Each structure stands twice: as C-alpha cells, then as structure tokens.
Amino acid sequence: MKKHFASLALTSLFALSCQASTTSETVANAIKGSTLAKESKVIEWRRHLHQNPELGNREFKTSKYIETHLRSLGLEIQTGVAHTGIVAILKGGKPGPVVALRADMDALPVKERTDVPFASTAVGEYYGEEVPVMHACGHDTHMAILMGAAEILSEMKDQLPGTVKFLFQPAEEGSPRGEEGGAELMVKEGALKNPDVDAVFGLHISAGTNVGEINIRKEGIMASVDDFKMIVKGKQAHGSTPWDSIDPIVTAAQIINGLQTIVSRHMPLTSQASVVTVGAIHGGVRSNIIPEQVEMLGTIRTLSQKDRDNIHEHVRNKAKLIGESMNADVEVLLPYSSAYPVTYNNPELTEKMMPTIESVAGKNKVNIINPITGAEDFSFFAQEVPGVYFFVGGKPLDTPREEAAPHHTPDFYIDESGLKLGVEVMTRLAVDYLNLHAK
C-alpha cells in the first residue's frame, strides 16, 4: 500500500509540475524523494548481482534477474540482444522523443579479496580455463542504478512526453575470442532502432572519486582502444651459436624499444595523451635454445581518430622495419581482438544537460576532468546518436584517494551510499531531456 501511495504521489507531483511554470523544481523534488525511498532496494539488487557475477556473453542468470524486475514494471521487453542483453521500452503517455539509458552487465576474471558479506565466490570459464569471477569494475552498481531509474520512471510514465529505452548491455569488457558482443553488436542488432533513439546517457561508478561527486567533460572523455598481436618469426638455433639464428627474442626487444618512441617522439603530448603498451611476451622454452618464434600482445590508447590512425601506422611500420633490419619476419595483427572508438560526449547535448547534472549533485560537486586513457564501448552508442557519459563517485569520504583500490583489482570496493546519486541523475536526465524536446 505504501508503494502504491508513493507512486500516486510521484505521478501527481509530475502532473502538477507540467502545468506550472516552475516545472523542473517540482519534478526534481518528486524524483529525489522517490530515489531515497528506493535506496535500500537498489542496494539489495546490487548485492545480489555482486554475489552472482558472470563473464561477458555469459550473463544468463544476470539477464534473467533483470528481466524479472523489468517485466514487473510492465515494460516491453526484448531479450537475447547481443547474446544476453536486454532492451526494455517504456512508452510515456504523451508523444515526444526517445531517450536511452545504458548499463553494462559483465564481470571480470578476478578473485575477490574484500571482506564484504556479499563477496563473490563465483567461477567461470575464460580462454578454456576455470577462473574466479568478480564485479571488479562496478557493473553491478550500474545495473542496480538503472533498475532503480526504470522503476521510478515507470511510476510516472503517464506524464512522460516520449519514450525511454533501457539498454542492459553484455560484454563491455570484451567478448570471448571469436565472438561478437557488447555495444557494437547491440547497435548492429538494432538496439537503437524501433523506436529510433534521439540521445543516449551512460554512467560509470568511480572507486577513486568521492561519493556525491560527478566527473564529466565535453567531447572525448575516454580513449579509443585497440589491442594488437605481433608474431616475430626467426630461425631457431643452439644458444651457444647465436650467429646460426635469426633471433626473435632480440628482435622483439628491439621492437618494444622502438614502440616506446612512438608516443615520446611522434605524438603531440602537449595537447593530449596517448599510450602504446606491450603487456605480454611469450617465446622460448630453454635457456640454451634460441626459439623460432615470439608472440607479443599490447594495447593502444588515443583520444582522437587522427592520433589513432597515426599511431597504428607507426606501430606497423616500426615493427616491420625493425624486423627487416634483423632479417626476421613480423606479422602485426592490429586490431587483434577488440577495438573501441573514443567515448565522445556530444558538446551540444552535454551543455544542454549540465544544468540537470549540477542540479542533482550540486554545482560544486560536478568536476570538469581531463580525458582519461581508459576505454568504454558506450562509444559505439555515442557514434550513432548524441551521447553523454560521466562518472559517479563511489569512494568513501574517509578513504584517501591514494588508498582506494583501483578498478579491475581484487580489493575493488564501492561505497553503496553513492548509488542514489546515480539513480537520481539518470532519472532526471531522462525526464529533463524528454521535457526539453517534447513535441
């Protein structure tokens, strides 16, 4: 009964606000109250998802859990999108634009080391091996936040001037090798169509940002990412007679050194950052055998398409030419298994929605940040339609920044008091965008 009265109150406030000249203040207060009322539910959803993580393209139980909640709200549901994703549609009572809200669903092959009572003990399969699985990047919080926003928006649907699409996306961390997935596949399968989305919003929890704060910027906020594989082929020989070999290990070492000069000698570091990193090298079995082949894996991060193209050219050229100078053959696979474009915040849309973000968090809690070299496949949605992506603080206020465990690590920790800000700002962005663009 309390839930019924809360829903009626929210709907009534929204209806009154649409008739008044000070629409936004009344709606804001209604949404804030509903967010606070649902905070415990959002935390409960988050803990369940945290305790039951699944790897990319394998989020079967996760998807079913979310689907059950969305169906209880009476939404139109499409499942099996990009393998395990969900697209849910909330049609408002009035005509208007279509706005999409996105959350990612997958976890990582990381063994949890936190002492929270809902810590993960799950296991999964990664590259054919059994591995521990943990939500070590906060995707569990993203899903819970969007579930909360969906519930609030459903309670006010009769007064919404337009449509809201909820995108629950698998495999943001990458698909298993040989499979498609993630936002790129969702776009390919029409997640932004029927009805056609006009704008999309996404968020990421930040373990290094204070609870209550939001980090954002116009234009590029996160880097593009391309991984690469290099296969250096030489001639095997006894370790005591290296002159009989074409040594792929020495060649690989020279290539690695050469790659490090790309950023330091070819890129405009005073304007924006870029990264070329070799993260793995495999070759040889004994101390006295020069092997025939060495393989290397690496990653490239850039903040513009121009820089991306430039670095790709330099990586290929340096690897090939250094290989030739050593009489070795070098095969460069770039990209190898994943490639995300720059996560780009549409400047006009960002500017238009900044008053909403500042209204929710408080102007002094909204930080304009420099772009970061992490990557996000939300970028595929934002390539298709105007998008805005931002970070919501999840670091306890009494934890120094340097002591907060980074993302993708066993000790990754989120202060759940930060979830309500995520719920409120996503809900407000949807409502305010629809009102600003109502037909």
Neighbouring CB atoms inside 10 A of 307's CB total 23
Parent domain of 416: 2-222+343-436
Structure tokens at 314: 């330099």
Q: How confident is the model at residue 11 (pLDDT cuts 50, 70, 90)?
A: low
For the residues of 35-81, what is the DSSP string, one character each? HHHTHHHHHHHHHHHHHS---TT--HHHHHHHHHHHHHTT-EEEEEE
Q: Which residue, of 306, 339, 372, is where some domain finishes?
A: 339
Are 77 and 143 part of one and the same domain? Answer: yes
The per-residue pLDDT for range 127-165, each reduced to its tens digit, is: 899 999 999 999 999 999 999 999 999 999 999 999 999
Residue holding tokens 């990381």? Answer: 110
In this prediction, residues 13-19 reach a mean pLDDT of 47
Distance CA 144, CA 418 (A): 12
| 406 in Cβ contact with 130 (< 8 Å) | no
Q: Are residues 119 and 42 in the same domain?
A: yes
Residue range 280-331, pLDDT digits in tens: 999 999 999 999 999 999 999 999 999 999 999 999 999 999 999 999 999 9
Q: Is the pLDDT of residue 16 over 80?
A: no
Given a contact cutoff of 8 angstroms between Cβ atoms, the answer to whether 172 and 381 are in contact is no
**Which run of H or of E encompasses 30?**
helix 23-37
- Provide the pLDDT for residue 209: 98
Half-sphere exposure of residue 359: CA atoms within 13 angstroms, side-chain side: 20
64 and 180 share a domain? yes
Task: Return d(Cα 56, Cα 377) in angstroms, integer.
Answer: 13
Residue that finishes a domain, picked among 339, 355, 387: 339
Query: The CATH number of the domain where 321 resides is what?
Result: 3.30.70.360
Are residue 300 and residue 375 in the same domain, yes or no?
no
Number of domains in the chain: 2
Tell whether the model's pLDDT for residue 257 goes beyond 80: yes
Q: Does residue 1 register a pLDDT over 70? A: no
Q: What is the mean pLDDT of residues 187-194?
A: 98
Same domain, 186 and 123: yes
Residues 376 and 291 occupy one common structural domain: no
98 and 31 in a common domain? yes
Has residue 69 got a pLDDT over 60?
A: yes
7: confidence class by pLDDT, cuts 50, 70, 90: low
| Active site residue ranges | 340, 416
Same domain, residue pair 6 and 18: yes
Q: Are 106 and 133 in contact (CB under 8 A)?
A: no
Tokens coding 401: 């920044």
Same domain, 295 and 330: yes
Residue 357, pLDDT score: 98
What's the pTM value of the predicted model, to 2 decimals? 0.90
Rounded alpha-carbon distances, angstroms, from residue 276 to 256, 261, 419:
10, 9, 34
**7 and 147 in a common domain:** yes
Q: Is the per-residue pLDDT at 188 higher than 90? A: yes
Residue 75's pLDDT is 98
| pLDDT of res. 18 | 46
User: Can you tell me the distance from the alpha carbon of 73 to that of 151, in angstroms, rounded to the nearest whole number?
Assistant: 7
The token pair at 395 is: 């670091």
Is residue 372 within 8 A of residue 342, CB to CB? The reply is: no
Positions of E strands within 144-235: 161-169, 199-210, 214-216, 219-222, 224-233
Q: Phi, psi (5° rounding) for residue 366? A: -105, 115
Number of H helices, E strands in the chain: 11, 19
Helix axes of 23-37 and 419-436: crossing angle, nearest 10 degrees: 150
Q: What is the CATH number of the domain that holds 207?
A: 3.40.630.10
- Flag whether pLDDT at 405 surpasses 60: yes
Q: Alpha carbon of 66 to those of 60, 84, 382: distances in Å?
A: 10, 11, 24
| Separation CA 77–CA 68 (nearest Å) | 10
Determine the Cα–Cα distance for residues 303 and 222; give it in Å rounded to an integer: 7
Query: Which of 301, 323, 339 finishes a domain?
Result: 339
Mean residue pLDDT of the chain comes to 94
Please tell me whether residues 145 and 218 are part of one structural domain. Answer: yes
Pair 375, 310 in one domain: no
